[in-house]
Amino acid sequence: MHFSPTRRALLTAAAGLAATSVAPLAARAQGASATAISGTVTLAGWSKPISEITNLLAEPDKGFFKAQGVNLVYLPGAGGGDAIRNLLSGQADVAFTDPGSFFMALDKGEKLRAIYDIYPQNVFNVVSLKSANITRPADLKGKRIGVYSLSSGTRQNLLVMLHQAGLTEADVEIVVTGVLNFAPLLQGQVDATAATDTGLLVGRKRGLGEVDVMQVSDTLNVSSDLFVVRESALPQKQALLRAFLKAYRDSAAWMIAHPEEAAQLAGKRALDGTDLAVNLEVIRLRNAASIASGGRPLGTIDIGLLQQAADAYHALGLIKQPIDIAAVVDTHLLPEA
């Protein structure tokens, strides 16, 4: 798998994985027959190469994508909105993005389609120290709140929580703190920080101490991330995108079945993978978030639930136009269960 550089600070992260980008794909996906590379799929991520996406980072070792004829390129990003921008600019074929960023792009008239539900469970939260006495969304009024970036799912989900409490972004001060960074909270630079379950896990391992946690799922339980493509790509790259989704599902199934092996590989491939025990806990959280309710196959999009989320974004004023989710979801590329 090749890791392409992205702008500003992400150049450093990509450079750090230069050796990975040229590593041979030594291993095949178990039980899969190898095929000739039929095309490259550039995946615009929301993050740097971190342990929670180990199923993607393991490509040089496991070869899930190569086995399906796909040359995978991972383009790091700083939030779901960044992934959408890289998709729209033509730098990527697929965006790994949150529903809020997807909705907001659609609201601006972009022609996009969601093709796979990566994490059907909402993993976002807002964390504060016990001493701040922030126990409900209304308590956020007038507070400084950290987010990963202004284009991240942490910000989008924070806005949902604020609006449900009758607040707007103008009622708080949003501060960019970076990914998995609780230092500003501990140092008093922010009163609360929007994060994810894995971010909170790592923060606690690093001495975060006792905190109050408000789960966004209590406000709006919608999937955390989707694969999104440009509408024009569907007829042009249908076979390649279908192969990509098959490979991704195989990689996700592998990580669910073999979390310990994934944790070991994260130690070799992920920028934050130095602690194998933490890797394992992060991977187990992501595995749990990957599993859809009702025994549905990995990647299945719950159109009804996603419609509820789009309706909520519209009702809360986060998007101007209503969205017909059935018209912007394509389920035909999902591999057979």
Mean pLDDT by 10 residues, the chain (337 residues): 43 33 36 61 96 98 98 95 97 97 97 97 95 96 95 90 91 90 91 94 89 92 94 95 97 98 98 96 97 90 94 90 97 83
- Residue 294: predicted pLDDT: 84
Angle of helix 99-107 versus helix 80-88 axis, rounded to 10: 50
Non-local (6+) Cβ contacts of 248 within 8 A are 55, 56, 64, 65, 116, 227, 299
- Residue 3: predicted pLDDT: 52
Q: Which residue has the tokens 């383009």?
A: 75
- Residue 18: predicted pLDDT: 32
Non-local (6+) Cβ contacts of 235 within 8 A are none
Q: What are phi and psi of 117, to 5 degrees?
A: -95, 105
Non-local (6+) Cβ contacts of 11 within 8 A are 5
- Residue 37: predicted pLDDT: 59
What residues pair up with 227 in beta bridges, in sequence order? 96, 116
Greatest CA separation found in the chain? 59
Strands of the 192-196 sheet, one edge to the other: 173-176, 144-147, 192-196, 124-129, 211-215
Structure tokens at 289: 């978030």
- Residue 206: predicted pLDDT: 84
CA–CA dist 283, 291 (Å, integer): 13
**pTM for the structure as a whole:** 0.84
- Residue 303: predicted pLDDT: 94
CA–CA dist 27, 319 (Å, integer): 45
CA triplet 110, 113, 116: central angle to 5 degrees? 145
